[in-house]
Amino acid sequence: MRRMTIYALDTNILSYLLKNDERVCSSLRGELVAGNTCIIPPVAYYEIRRGLLYVNAVAKLGYFDELCLDFPVGVMNRPAWDETAALYAKLRRNGQIREDADLFIAAFCLVGGYTLVTNNIRHFAMIDGLSYTNWQ
């Protein structure tokens, strides 16, 4: 029996969905038909929501709220915070500084066993054990 994949949607992928990007929407539909599902990392939720509120994009806020009914917003638990700190320390020792938001999202995926969907592969490629793909 095939194991269901849970995809964590990075901020840029959520943005593409809100813009009804054909490739991203098609990939999402294909994964749902295949029996897979999605989750929204809490940091990605925050980044999208703050941007939509800032520009007063009321219609897109409504669409985003509907999306969040279909796909739950995850929670950063203590193991995810600990993983974030460990990632930061390891990458910094190697001279590979990354934005905190990227580290939060990566740790959320690692701890939860999620596959990250992102259009910023280079932001995540150096993180050992992280499963990722690009629907764009």
Chain segment 45-69, per-residue pLDDT in tens: 999 999 999 999 999 999 999 999 9
Tally of domains within the chain: 1
Per the structure, the complete domain to which residue 73 belongs is given by 6-133
Q: What is the CATH number of the domain that holds 47?
A: 3.40.50.1010
| Structural domain includes residue 31 | yes
Q: Is the dihedral of CA 48, 50, 52, 58 positive or negative?
A: positive
| Structural domain includes residue 1 | no
Classify 34 as helix, strand or coil.
Answer: coil
Burial state string for 4-18 with b = 16 or more CB within 10 A and e = fewer than 16: ebbbbbbbbbbbbbb
Strand partners, 8: 39, 116
Is residue 135 within 8 A of residue 23, CB to CB? The reply is: yes
| Structural domain includes residue 105 | yes
Q: What is the pTM of this model?
A: 0.94
- Cα separation, 26 vs 94, whole angstroms: 38
Chain segment 64-85, per-residue pLDDT in tens: 999 999 999 999 999 999 999 9
| Structural domain includes residue 98 | yes
| Structural domain includes residue 84 | yes
Chain segment 10-41, per-residue pLDDT in tens: 999 999 999 999 999 999 999 999 999 999 99
